[in-house]
Chain A
Amino acid sequence: NAGVMQNPRHLVRRRGQEARLRCSPMKGHSHVYWYRQLPEEGLKFMVYLQKENIIDESGMPKERFSAEFPKEGPSILRIQQVVRGDSAAYFCASSPSRQIAEAFFGQGTRLTVV
């Protein structure tokens, strides 16, 4: 059973471009969480999705950021018109239930905005 797969591992975007980050959960996991790690800080919750539904997006910036978890395919975190402040590591986790204690994290995508 492969772990949580995130790609790309590293992503460089120019200011104003779009960034699309992918997360394939572990087999049998229908709950996905996205976290952001800014430099020198701990991880901050962004959004919680359960197949085709956004359960909690209270940690997402109100503009430019969106997330989806379609019936088929990976979860996508989309950042439109990126700015330098979006540079961070973005981690995805998946679990078979809403019990975060059962979640596994991916290796993260490091986004650099130049």
Chain B
Amino acid sequence: GNSVTQMEGPVTLSEEAFLTINCTYTATGYPSLFWYVQYPGEGLQLLLKATKADDKGSNKGFEATYRKETTSFHLEKGSVQVSDSAVYFCALSDDYKLSFGAGTTVTVRA
């Protein structure tokens, strides 16, 4: 079946540091890939997505590229801010169903 494995946290960074969260997947077919973010006390928000191989999703300075050859969708941001502190979830879709990774907690210190 489909599954997503993402880097375990927690991750603690200083402001303006570079952030990478690794995500790899196992799937049949050609799923769409997503990164969701959950800020403290809030629900899930879609951060970015990519629907086919080599697509790059980007939003709020975050980027991720759909790599079919390595079955990966790593999240990156060049310069994090305190406001980026949140839990980040990698996910893939199989038709109407999302499979999520376990989440990575990121804390950015001023």
Known: A41-B102, A42-B103, A101-B32. A91 touches B44 (CB 8 A): yes
B34 at the A interface (CB under 8 A): yes
Q: Could you list which residues of chain B lie within 8 angstroms of chain A, going by C-beta atoms? A: 4, 32, 34, 36, 42-46, 49, 51, 89, 91, 93, 95-103
Q: Give the Cβ gap from B44 to chain A, nearest Cβ, in Å.
A: 4
CB-based contact A108/B43 at 8 Å: yes
A-B interface contact total, Cβ < 8 Å:
57
Q: A62-73 toward B: CB 8 Å interface, digit per residue (1/0)?
A: 000000000000
Is chain B's interface secondary structure helix, strand, loop, or mixed overall?
A: strand
Whether the pair A98, B93 counts as a contact (CB closer than 8 A) is no
C-alpha spacing A44/B103, complex, angstroms? 12
Q: Is A1 an interface residue (CB 8 A)?
A: no
Per CB-CB distance, the 3 closest pairs between chain A and chain B, nearest first, are: A42-B100, A107-B43, A105-B44
A residues near B (Cβ < 8 Å) are: 6, 31, 33, 35, 40-45, 48, 55-56, 91, 93, 98-101, 104-108
